[in-house]
C-alpha cells in the first residue's frame, strides 16, 4: 500500500511497538530505527485497513518526507469552477422517469438526494466491515505463529470479547494491545453485533 502523509499507521520492530501516528512520524521513526540497526523485521500497518505499508526510505530524512507529500495541484484555468458536477448518462425505465418528473427540484436534485441517503445508510456497515478486515489483516501478518491464533480469530468474528481477551492474554504486549484496540473499534462499529465475514466459521 502506498502511504500518504496524513495516513495513520503503526510500526513494529519484531513484536515491539516502534511508533504509531501519521505516516510522516512513523516513516521517520522506522528510518532512524533501521539506520540504528533494528533487529527487525520492521513492519508497518495502516491503522484503518490493517494492511502492510511500505515506505521508500532511500536518501536522507528530507527526501523520505518529500516522497510522502501529495503532488502539487494543477493550476486551474480562468473561469467559474465546476464544483465537481459531472454530467453522465443515467438509464431508467419509463415509470422511473415519470416519477422523477413529478418530484420537486427536478430529476438531478432527486437523484442526488437518493444517493446521499444511500451513502449515509451504507456508511456504518462499510466502516464496520473495514474495521473487521483490519483485525483480520493484522492477525494474519503478526499473530499467525502465536499460540491460540486460530481460536482467537474465531472468537473475534463471533464477537466473543471475553474469550478473545483471554486467548490473547499471553501474546507479546505491544502486539496484543494494538490488536485489542483494532478489535474494539471493529466491535463498536458493528454496534455490539457479531462482525460479518466470509471467514466466519
Q: Which residue has the higher pLDDT, 200 or 15?
A: 15
Mean pLDDT of 36-44: 92
Mean pLDDT of 116-120: 69
List beta partners, residue 19. Answer: 11
Would you call 11 helix, strand, or coil by DSSP?
Answer: strand
Answer positive or negative: Cα dihedral of 186, 190, 194, 200: negative
Task: Report the b/e string of 145-154 with b at 16+ CB within 10 A.
Answer: ebebbeebbb
Q: Which grid cell is 172? A: 507479546
Give the pLDDT score at 25.
Answer: 94
Please name which of 5, 8, 4, 55 lies closest in space to residue 32, comparing C-alpha atoms. 55
Q: Which residue has the higher pLDDT, 15 or 92?
A: 15
Q: What is the pLDDT of residues 2-13, one digit of tens each?
A: 677 678 999 999
Q: Do residues 70 and 93 touch, judged by C-beta distance below 8 A?
A: no
Q: Which grid cell is 146? A: 502465536
Give the pLDDT score at 97.
Answer: 79
Amino acid at each position: 500500500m502506498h502511504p500518504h502523509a496524513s495516513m495513520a499507521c503503526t510500526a513494529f520492530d519484531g513484536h515491539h511497538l516502534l511508533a504509531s501516528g501519521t505516516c510522516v512520524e512513523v516513516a521517520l521513526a522506522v528510518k532512524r530505527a533501521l539506520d540504528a540497526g533494528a533487529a527487525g523485521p520492521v513492519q508497518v500497518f495502516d491503522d484503518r485497513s490493517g494492511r502492510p505499508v511500505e515506505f521508500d526510505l532511500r536518501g536522507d530524512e528530507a527526501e523520505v518526507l518529500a516522497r510522502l507529500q501529495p503532488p502539487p495541484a494543477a493550476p486551474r484555468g480562468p473561469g467559474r469552477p465546476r464544483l465537481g458536477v459531472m454530467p453522465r448518462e443515467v438509464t431508467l425505465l419509463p415509470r422511473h422517469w415519470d416519477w422523477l418528473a413529478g418530484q420537486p427540484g427536478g430529476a438531478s436534485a432527486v437523484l442526488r438526494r437518493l444517493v446521499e441517503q444511500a451513502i449515509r445508510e451504507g456508511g456504518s456497515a462499510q466502516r464496520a466491515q473495514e474495521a473487521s478486515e483490519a483485525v483480520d489483516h493484522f492477525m494474519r501478518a503478526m499473530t499467525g505463529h502465536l499460540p491460540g491464533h486460530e481460536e482467537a480469530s474465531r472468537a473475534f468474528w463471533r464477537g466473543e470479547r471475553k474469550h478473545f481477551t483471554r486467548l490473547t492474554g499471553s501474546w507479546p504486549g505491544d502486539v496484543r494491545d494494538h490488536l485489542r484496540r483494532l478489535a474494539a473499534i471493529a466491535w463498536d462499529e458493528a454496534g455490539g453485533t457479531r462482525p460479518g465475514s466470509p471467514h466466519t466459521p
